[in-house]
Chain A
């Protein structure tokens, strides 16, 4: 079976296709397209940016992010995990909210400082 995808490595945006069994990549104009397609098929990863509850007077949500990309299929699991998190002020940018999520070595950190 073939899987179609758009390579996002550079502005050309090749519409590449990859064979899900042989991993043969077609319609890519360069090597980077082949690498991209294989990674997207075998181990697609994404950064997650979202928010968690906070008791600040300025805002009810604290923005957070993963320190690195995590497996794509874990995105919704991490959203569920963050649902029950309640942060108290003060919080500093970079403070760890959850560490080593799903044993990936990736942390979730605050992306904003809130003091009051």
Chain B
């Protein structure tokens, strides 16, 4: 069988945008989605707040998904839903994908280029080593969201939530509206990772207390969850004795982080960032394996789906250019590394042979600041500085670097200086 030019893995926000970006009449393209329909996690995010950047209006998740689906439905491409990727290998310059579905069982397709747009999975209690009994009733907030909003199951009646990221806050409101009693949200850090708007409209509106600098110190329950205990933590995140509060609940929802879901690509052995959990890429979103691209939450966790769409469209366009221009990987690589107060920068490398005028670097800081300055260095040379306002780790910052800025072949580093907090 003739190999596909491009195979896109995942049909959520990232995969749909990648398909739109990659599409060309002369190319043979395939998209694989494990769910029965396209749209990904957007379908279960029934709240609004999506699309303000990309569509200039406020949409709910399902509405945003439907627009993305409509944009690709007329295209002459193969879309396989209800199909999962088991393994991907690369032999003699061609990717071979082992797929599985209920109709064909195990089967294989080939591709010259592959785009990873497989999203994230949620951290579970095992990943954060919660102490205590191991009863039923403890689940990631996103799983509960799917049960409630798509499958129509109420997961519990008395709920506590660990983690104040936006998914946790949104679920606090959602469970309350559906008749559950949400007794509180605990956050390990001294500040919430969620948007202020969500703190106000999901917690304050329903008088749900937020316990900052608190975490779960005990879980009790023989077969089903009976109670949880939270404790305040000190600056080293150790429990402070005497601060315990116990809540009788039947459900504990975890909103404690997302991890790029890229295990099915392990055989390809591409370089992975310890910080993002996703692939290390250059400005064309190409990984260390030639012809393998990555985008969306499978690359790094985004704050807004609008940014996923923007990034993934570019990744698709780059994959298309890779095929049409028959481009070979360059050896002329420049590294981009985070310095003080920066947790990560993406892309992590620049392909200097690529024909580009400027690159947009996405980065996150490790600290809050009312005002601050980003300083961009190449080696010891300060290239330029840029002011920033209202900087928080939960919100991605963007810095543009022009090719003409670059003075020599030394690595680029960026540091963040806090001016006022």
Contact between A53 and B46, CB atoms less than 8 A apart:
no
Q: Which one of A5, A46, A76, A112 contacts B43 once the chains associate, using CB atoms below 8 Å?
A: A112
Contact between B196 and A46, CB atoms less than 8 A apart:
no
Contact between B60 and A65, CB atoms less than 8 A apart:
yes
Instruction: Please list the residues of chain A having a beta carbon within 8 angstroms of any beta carbon in chain B.
Output: 5-6, 8, 11-13, 46-51, 53, 58-61, 63, 65, 72, 75-76, 79, 93, 111-113
Q: Choose the segment among B131-139, B199-207, B357-365 that binds chain A (4+ C-beta atoms closer than 8 Å).
A: B199-207
18 contacts between A and B (CB under 8 A): A5-B200, A8-B200, A11-B390, A12-B390, A49-B46, A49-B48, A49-B60, A50-B46, A51-B149, A58-B36, A63-B46, A63-B149, A75-B177, A79-B179, A111-B60, A111-B63, A112-B62, A112-B65
Q: Which residues of A contact B152 (CB under 8 A)?
A: 51, 53, 59-61
> Min CB distance, B178 to chain A, in Å?
7
Within 8 A of A (CB), among B52-75: 60-63, 65-66
Q: Which residues of B contact A63 (CB under 8 A)?
A: 43, 46, 60-62, 149
What are the 8 tightest A-B residue pairs by CB atom distance, in nearest-first order? A60-B152, A63-B46, A112-B62, A11-B390, A13-B196, A111-B60, A8-B197, A59-B150
Given the known interface contacts A61-B152, A63-B60, A111-B60, the answer about A72 and B205 at a Cβ–Cβ threshold of 8 Å is yes
In angstroms, Cα B266 to Cα A55, docked, is 40
In angstroms, Cα B37 to Cα A112, docked, is 12
Instruction: Please list the residues of chain B having a beta carbon within 8 angstroms of any beta carbon in chain A.
Output: 36-37, 43, 46-48, 60-63, 65-66, 148-152, 177-179, 196-197, 199-201, 204-205, 389-390
Contact between A59 and B151, CB atoms less than 8 A apart:
yes
> Min CB distance, A97 to chain B, in Å?
13
Contact between A111 and B62, CB atoms less than 8 A apart:
yes
Q: Which one of B47, B151, B199 contacts A6 once the chains associate, using CB atoms below 8 Å?
A: B199
Most B C-beta atoms less than 10 A away, residue of A48, A76, A111: A111
> Min CB distance, B411 to chain A, in Å?
32
Q: Which one of A6, A65, A93 contacts B66 once the chains associate, using CB atoms below 8 Å?
A: A93
In angstroms, Cα B89 to Cα A55, docked, is 41
DSSP majority for the B interface? helix
Q: Which residues of B contact A13 (CB under 8 A)?
A: 196
Q: Which residues of A contact B65 (CB under 8 A)?
A: 112
Most A C-beta atoms less than 10 A away, residue of B65, B177, B389: B177
Q: Which residues of B contact A46 (CB under 8 A)?
A: 201, 205
In angstroms, Cα B178 to Cα A79, docked, is 8
Contact between A6 and B46, CB atoms less than 8 A apart:
no
Contact between A8 and B196, CB atoms less than 8 A apart:
yes
Q: Which residues of B contact A75 (CB under 8 A)?
A: 177
> Min CB distance, A1 to chain B, in Å?
17
Q: Which one of B149, B199, B204, B389 contacts A61 once the chains associate, using CB atoms below 8 Å?
A: B149
Give me 13 other A-B pairs in contact (C-beta within 8 A), A60-B152, A63-B61 excluded: A5-B204, A6-B204, A8-B196, A47-B48, A50-B46, A50-B178, A51-B46, A51-B152, A75-B177, A79-B177, A79-B179, A111-B63, A112-B43
Contact between B66 and A50, CB atoms less than 8 A apart:
no
Contact between B48 and A6, CB atoms less than 8 A apart:
no
In angstroms, Cα B178 to Cα A93, docked, is 23
Q: Nearest CB to that of A10 among chain B residues?
A: B390
Contact between A111 and B46, CB atoms less than 8 A apart:
yes
> Min CB distance, B390 to chain A, in Å?
4
Q: Nearest CB to that of B174 among chain A residues?
A: A50
In angstroms, Cα B196 to Cα A72, docked, is 18
In angstroms, Cα B153 to Cα A60, docked, is 9
Contact between B62 and A61, CB atoms less than 8 A apart:
no
Q: Nearest CB to that of A79 among chain B residues?
A: B177
Most A C-beta atoms less than 10 A away, residue of B149, B197, B201: B149
> Min CB distance, B369 to chain A, in Å?
12
